[in-house]
Amino acid sequence: MTSTYDVAVIGAGFAGVTAARDLTLAGHSVVHLEARDRIGGRTFVGEAFGRQVEFGGTYAHWSQAHVWHELKRYDIGLVRRLTIEQCNWLADGTVHTGTPAEYHAVSKSLATRCLADAREWFPMPGDIHAADTTVIEKETLADRLDAMDLSPAERDVLCDVMGSLVAAPAEQGMAQFLFWTSLNGGSWETFMECAGGFPIDGGTKRLLDAINGESTAELRLSTPVTAVDDDGSAVTVTTADGQRVRARQVVLAVPLNTLADVAVTPPPPAADMIEQKHPMRTMKIWARVKGEVTPFSANAPVGKHPLNSARTEYRYEGDTLVVCFCGDATAIDPTDRGAVERALRFFVPDLEVLDVACHDWVSDPYSQGTWVHHRPGYLTQAAPLLRRPHNRIHFAGGDLAALGVGGIDGAIETGARAARDVVQALRMDA
């Protein structure tokens, strides 16, 4: 039996939930299909250590227009993390320790030098095509580091500064680092604050539930989609259990690395990007550390230590919660308390890890990776193709965002854009 709707929204991360809400508020019948048994996509507030923690995307900022608009709409604020007092960084085989000011003095000039041409390539980041990016879109982060003629210690410090965002330097396009920097006034430091400075009060689930609470879409959880077939008059969506849904328009809001698992007809543009996927295979690990330790951060270049970024986030029942990122998910077993303890003690001796928790986004079939970092050529050349309507199919998700690429802001941005495009298409099709 085939059911018919105005719109089928596929995927219930921030992009899909935003699109479903906006479309139902516009008066359209919407079926909302989600592979998981929950909404949220690559954001996930789960249980660990007897409290809730964010296993996926976490942070927001008042400079991010789309997420800030939603936070204000639902009267939700941001909260502060622990203020770091001690920085630890690995450079040329040695762990260095200092204050945040001392670490900043070592690292700022290197980051500024590396990203000095950000505004040249992206003079108006709101218009990604304001300058010719053909040349820069051929460059990887590894290419940039090689060309800078750095000492081993300087190269390590520069990778330390980029911390959790460096996973595969030979595969990550330099253009995205420059774009992020230009988007934040040419300052990498400002970008890092905006990207990872402030958790949402009550967690990402609080905002998701608020957005979803305004949607009247028919939400079907645990319903993976295997095919989306646009025959020119309508779209047939087929689920893994053989259900068929007929819709006048479709919003396909799934992670880039899972798009190849959905048979889309006619075939979508940006086929190479979809097939190659993005290279971010990062692991986020939470550690409960005994006692209220001095708030610290720790950074190491990918490939030179199991953990590439760690910092104290919260106090909890007399202990401290530390969030860790590993650029190579195979470098450490996130369930091995002892291994995580040894990795943290490399920077801060005598720490006692009481427990660890993690969600494996790399092995998760509905994510197959973490946030996006585009390969060379894809940020400005391939991703924009998927932001355009593909007949009756509209792609959405933070991986494809024009501004908030890789984050919650970008997911909301694309979900709202897709909804607007669909409403216009339905009007023309009436």
Distance CA 297, CA 89 (A): 8
Locate 176 and state its tokens. Answer: 């995205």
Say if residue 35 carries a ligand binding annotation.
yes
CB contact at 8 A, 95 and 89: yes
Residues in the chain: 430
Residue 425 exposed, middle or buried by CB count within 10 Å (0-12, 13-18, 19+):
middle
Please, what's the b/e burial string for 212-240 (b: 16 or more CB within 10 A of its CB; e: otherwise)?
beebebbbeeebbbeebbbeeebbbbbbe
SS3 percent helix, strand, coil of the chain, rounded to 5, is 35, 25, 40
CB contact at 8 A, 30 and 3: no
Distance CA 104, CA 234 (A): 56
Locate 212 and state its tokens. Answer: 């979803």
> What phi and psi values does residue 376 have, to the nearest 5 degrees?
-55, 135
Distance CA 218, CA 411 (A): 21
Evaluated on CA atoms 414, 417, 421, 427, the torsion sign reads positive
Distance CA 205, CA 193 (A): 22
Strand ranges across the sheet with 94-98: 94-98, 86-91, 296-299, 309-316, 319-326, 283-289, 353-358
Distance CA 226, CA 241 (A): 9
Say if residue 296 carries a ligand binding annotation.
no
Say if residue 325 carries a ligand binding annotation.
yes
Interhelix angle 188-196/100-114, rounded to 10 degrees, is 120
Q: How far apart are the first and last CA of the chain?
A: 25
Say if residue 346 carries a ligand binding annotation.
no
Q: Which residues line the annotated binding site? A: 34-35, 225, 325
Q: Which residues line the annotated binding site for substrate? A: 325
Q: Which residues line the annotated binding site for FAD? A: 34-35, 225
